[in-house]
Each structure stands twice: as structure tokens, then as C-alpha cells.
Amino acid sequence: MNTAVAGFSKLSKEEKINWIATTYFSSPTKAIELIKKYWNSDEKLQKLHDEFIENTISNFYIPLGVAPNFLINGKNYTIPMAIEESSVVAAASKAAKYWSTRGGFKATVIKTEKIGQVHFMYKGDSSKLELFFAETKAKFFSETHDLTKNMQQRGGGILDITLEDKTNLLPNYFQLHATFETKDSMGANFINSCLEQFANILKKEAQAYKLFTEEEKDIEVVMSILSNYVPNCIVRAEVSCPVADLSEKHIPNPEAFAERFVRAVQIAEVEPYRAVTHNKGIMNGVDAVILATGNDFRAVEAGVHAYASKEGQYSSLSHAKIENEIFSFWLEIPLALGTVGGLTSLHPLVKLSLEMLENPSAAELMKIVAVAGLAQNFAALRSLTTTGIQDGHMKMHLNNILNQLEATEEERHLVQKHFKNHVVSHSGVVSFVESIRNT
């Protein structure tokens, strides 16, 4: 079947849906019904969603849950989390309650520096380029003043610009490496606008520079773009308590638990295969809060995993130790977040989530997000080193299996009663439901 289509973006929403339904589905009517079933009944709100991206046909819902009882730097939070994975919110809530009686979480923003680069090719004497840059540097600041004045009034702006010689990596490759402070905005548009202006200034000034030959004046700007790797935009989250205070129902021997927990973290520090799954658990918590607050989880994911490899091997983002009978568990991660601009001022549920967090600054949101990641990691490691991860996860997943089987209320009751004392597995649930239906 030839499914190419010309001018698709110019079709109306109805025309797009009709084309998709008739092209790909054996029952176009059912496909259209399903697509429209997820439209918002409020036409104004649906129009808002439609305009977030191009070629919108419907809404794809992800549950928005909350994890209460997070005590962070002495203040209580209920954290919004948008995620579809069944056990994440429950695990975060459990970890929050556990640490709320042991001093809570501590969180500190270490740095908030963001990065952008102008990548360009220069064929000539590098010493002349360095002299040119030294003489021209002030113009990169003065000739972007119209772009930066509002940010400067909020305490942000361009922090510094350096010339980087990368010819050892690629012939003739240089870059302008710029650092920024964007305060409560994520700052992508601000940074990219500044970088494109830097590129224009670079080319213009190079053409007028008397020490350059004609070839040296002909600087080729390849691209101007922010970096999602922000190793100097770092937040630390941590918990600690006397080892004896770790005791609870599933931790009858806190000393043995603490030692096993630390070993589990050490394994993730040295074994990349384990570290990837370990860090994925951290990002379960991080991404859920980032998504709920309208931030870019893809950018954060890319930057965080690059940071996990900064020593040359992929490693754990979190660390643990026992020292003087005190158990400590912490992480440091790069988080470039915003609480103004973008979806934060457009998406109604994003605005609701931020208000639930008492309208935090970007720095405060960094702390909350990092804590959510640490809590998620603690919950996973506690399960792994005590009861095992599948016990809690599969019990949470039980509802998903029952929904797939379209179980009745009576069947649900019998299944839940049976699996209180049996290991939950997909095949086990299917077999048990079939046995009920065959009696």
C-alpha cells in the first residue's frame, strides 16, 4: 500500500483523521470514534492542546498522581508526578513517609550555569584568531544587550564567552563556548537567540579584521545551539540517619540492611549494566515530576546520562556510605529547569502542579525533582535488598492485568484475595481468571 500523502499539514483536523482512519484501519469508524473519545469536551481547552504541536489528532493521556509527605529542608511537599508505570508513585510516597520520620530530605543547589556554543570552521593561524577574539569579545556582550536586558534585570544574562580550539578533534574546528544564567526560565529560546547573534557578530567582525587574510576572514558558522549537557547546573539531594534508626517492619536488622544497601550502590558505581537500570529508577522519579511541571524530560535525560559517564565509564548517579554508625545516601545530578515560560504558563495541569508546589523558583524545583529521584532510588534499592523488586511491583501491576482481561468486580475480588498469598505473574493471573470463568 502506498501511504505517502502530500500537503498533510495543510489538511483540517477532520481531514487528517479521516485520511489516517481510512488508510490504516480495517474499521475506520471505530478508529475515528476512539480518536475523538479522548478529545476534551471544552473546545477552548482542546484548541489549546491542538496548538502545542503540529498535526494533532487527539490527546494521549498519562495519569497525574501525587506523592505526599515529602519533608525537604524542613518543609512539607505533596509532589505531582505524571507517569504510567504502576509502582512509581506508590514507591515514592512510601520512601517519603519513611524519611519524614528520620529527618527528611536535604537538598542544595550547587550551581545553575547553562551552556551554549557557536560551532565554526576557521582556516588559518590560530594565534591570530585568539587575538581577534580578545579584541572582539566585548562586542558579543554589547551587541546582544537588547536580547539580554530583561534577563539581566532578573539577575541573569551572559556569564562568560570563551574561544575553544577543537582542531585536535576535527580539522579547522573552533567554537565560542558561552555560559548563561537564566534564573527561573529554562532559557532555551534566550540562549539560542544570543548564540545566533554571536554568530552574526563573529562573521561580521571577521570580515573587517585587518590582520586576517581573505581565507581567514571567511569563517563558516556550522551551527549555533544550546547544550543539554549542563555539568555546572547541579543539585544535590541527600538523606542520613543513625544506622539503628533504619529499622522498620521489613528491616529487622538495620546494620545488615545498611551494609547490603551500600554494597548494592557500590555495584552500580562499578558495573555499567547495573548502573543503567539503577539510574533508570532515579529517572522514574525525576521524569515524572519534570513532565508534571511542563519541563523537557528528554533534555534532562540526555544531560543526566552524559553526566553519569563523565569519568569515562557509565556509573551510578547516587552514592551511599556508613561512617561513624551514620547511614548516608545522596545524589548529585544536572537539572536545567524552568518555572516560567513554555508550557508552565499554557498547560492548565502544569500550572496546577506548580501551584501545588507553592509556585517554586527554578532552583527550588531543582531540589524537589532531585529529591523525587533519590526517593525513588531508595525505594527500589530497599525492595531489591529486602523483599525483592517484583513483590511490590507485580501487586501494583495486578490491576493492569485485570483490566486487560476485562475482569468483573467479583472476579477482581477473588483474584486479589488469591494473590495475597501467591506470587503474582501475568500467566498466573490469566490461569486463575480462566479457572473462575470455567467453574
What's the CATH number where 249 sits? Answer: 3.90.770.10
Identify whether 133 is part of a domain.
Answer: yes
**Catalytic one of 50, 85, 269, 301:** 85
Q: Is the pLDDT of residue 413 over 90?
A: no
In a domain, 3, yes or no: no
Choose one of 175, 207, 227: the last residue of a domain. Answer: 227
* 45 & 70 share domain: no
Res. 397: pLDDT tops 70: no
User: Do 401 and 316 belong to one domain?
Assistant: no
| Residue 1 confidence (pLDDT) | 58
Please check whether residues 121 and 138 belong to one and the same domain: yes
The verdict on residue 249 lying in a domain is yes
* 2 or 426, which is more confident: 426
In a domain, 59, yes or no: no
Residue 421, domain member (yes or no): yes
Is residue 268 located within the same domain as residue 136? no
> What length does the chain have?
439
Q: 340-360, pLDDT tens digit by residue?
A: 988 888 999 999 999 999 999
Pairing of strands 318-323, 326-334: antiparallel
pLDDT digits (tens, 9 = 90+) for 50-89: 999 999 999 999 999 999 999 999 999 999 999 999 889 9
Q: 55 lies in a domain? A: no
C-beta separation of 337 from 380 below 8 A:
no
Residues 325, 340 within the same domain:
yes
Establish whether 296 is a catalytic residue. yes
The reply to whether 140 falls in a domain is yes
- 149 catalytic? Reply is no
Dihedrals phi, psi of 406, to nearest 5 degrees: 55, 50
Q: Annotated catalytic, 85?
A: yes
pTM: 0.88
Residues 318, 244 within the same domain: yes
Same domain? For 236 and 380 the reply is yes
Contacts of 437 (CB under 8 A, 6+ apart): 411
Strands of 318-323's sheet in order across = 106-109, 234-242, 326-334, 318-323
In a shared domain, residues 100 and 118: no
Considering the candidates 94, 183, 347, 393, report the single residue annotated as catalytic. Answer: 393
Say which amino acid occupies 434. E
Based on the fold, state whether residues 250 and 323 are members of the same structural domain. Answer: yes
Residue type, 207: Q
CATH number reported for the structural domain that contains residue 162 in this entry: 3.30.70.420
**Final residue of a domain: which of 209, 227, 245?**
227
As a whole number of angstroms, the distance between CA 219 and CA 198 comes to 13
Q: Where are the alpha helices (DSSP H) in 51-125?
A: 88-100
Residues 166 and 205 in one domain: yes
pLDDT score of 393 more than 60: no
Do 265 and 381 meet the contact criterion of CB atoms below 8 Å apart? yes
Specify whether 252 is located in the same domain as 332: yes
Residues 362-374, mean pLDDT to the nearest whole number: 98
What's the structural domain count of the chain? Answer: 4
How far apart, in whole angstroms, are the C-alpha atoms of residue 36 and residue 46? 11
- Determine which one of 296, 347, 364, 397 is catalytic: 296
Grid coordinates in use for 72?
525537604
How much is the average pLDDT of 192-217? 97
Find out whether 302 and 228 touch, Cβ atoms under 8 Å: yes
Domain containing residue 23: 8-50
Q: How far apart are CA 66 and CA 89, in angstroms?
A: 7
C-beta atoms surrounding 38 within 10 Å:
12
Average per-residue pLDDT for the chain: 94
Q: Do residue 369 and residue 402 come from a single domain? A: no
Q: Provide Rg for the chain, Cα atoms.
A: 27
Candidate list 49, 137, 280, 418, residue with the active-site label: 280
According to the model, what pLDDT value does residue 261 have?
98
CA dist 332 and 316 (Å) reads: 10
**Which three cell numbers, joined as nine digits, stand for 394?**
507485580
**At 268, is the pLDDT very low, low, confident or very high (cuts 50, 70, 90)?**
very high
Q: Tell me if residue 393 is catalytic.
A: yes
